[in-house]
């Protein structure tokens, strides 16, 4: 039996032969995809945290790769950002983890894991279930992100943390959750059509 990071088969396992080498490549690919999406960044005057494509990458990576590979992929992304300019706007360094956006970065790791857990329970192949999964992942990112933002920038004032770190992003993140809810089940349907349903 070959070594693998797969817990239960997810979308990517319908396409990529299962092996430890494939798992490593997928983990690196997920981190690279997130780094790429992080550069889709819009900074709004007066806002501490920019609009980015990172959270969509987190949702898609977790749903496609599953819990362990999703977690490792986001952990690799966060660690890479300590030395490489892979965070939003090309930012990097330990200061990013200890500042306003640090909670969101750690939230990516937890969210990708939880989205992956639900994907392993076949939530990712159904539009409504994938939408719920995406909202759960987004809520986790907000919970950690707003908490760290509130303490690191606003002295523990959660009202300000929510005002600057969540409220302006709700519509944008809602759109990303809807995109994930359409893209992942749609890809499942396409793959099953090509390869045949099990």
CA distance 144 to 74: 15
What global pTM score does this model have? Answer: 0.91
Kindly report the CA angle at 31 between 67 and 116, in degrees rounded to 5?
15
pLDDT of res. 9: 85
SS3 state of residue 100: coil
Domains of the chain: 11-195 (1.10.1760.20)
Query: How many Å apart are CA 38 and CA 105, to the nearest integer?
Result: 11
Phi, psi of 162 (to 5 degrees): -70, -40
Looking at residue 18, what is its pLDDT? 87
- Which tokens in the block code for residue 120? 């392993």
Tens of pLDDT, residue by residue over 115-156, are 999 999 999 999 999 999 999 999 999 999 999 999 999 999
pLDDT digits (tens, 9 = 90+) for 48-104: 666 789 999 999 999 999 999 999 999 999 999 999 999 988 899 999 998 888 999
């Amino acid at each position: 039996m070959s070594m693998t990071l797969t817990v239960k088969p997810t979308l990517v396992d319908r396409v990529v032969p299962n092996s430890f080498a494939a798992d490593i490549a997928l983990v690196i690919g997920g981190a690279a995809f997130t780094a790429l999406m992080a550069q889709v960044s819009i900074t709004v005057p007066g806002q501490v945290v920019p609009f980015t494509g990172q959270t969509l990458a987190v949702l898609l990576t977790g749903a496609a790769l599953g819990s362990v590979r999703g977690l490792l992929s986001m952990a690799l992304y966060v660690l890479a950002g300590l030395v490489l300019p892979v965070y939003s706007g090309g930012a990097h360094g330990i200061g990013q983890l200890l500042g306003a956006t640090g909670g969101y970065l750690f939230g990516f790791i937890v969210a990708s894991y939880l989205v992956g857990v639900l994907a392993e329970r076949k939530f990712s192949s159904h539009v409504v279930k994938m939408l719920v999964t995406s909202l759960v992942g987004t809520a986790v990112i907000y919970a950690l992100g707003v908490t760290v933002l509130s303490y690191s920038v606003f002295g523990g004032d959660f009202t300000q943390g929510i005002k600057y770190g969540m409220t302006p992003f709700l519509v944008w993140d809602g759109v990303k959750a809807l995109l994930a809810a359409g893209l992942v089940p749609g890809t499942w349907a396409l793959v099953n059509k090509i390869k045949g349903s099990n």
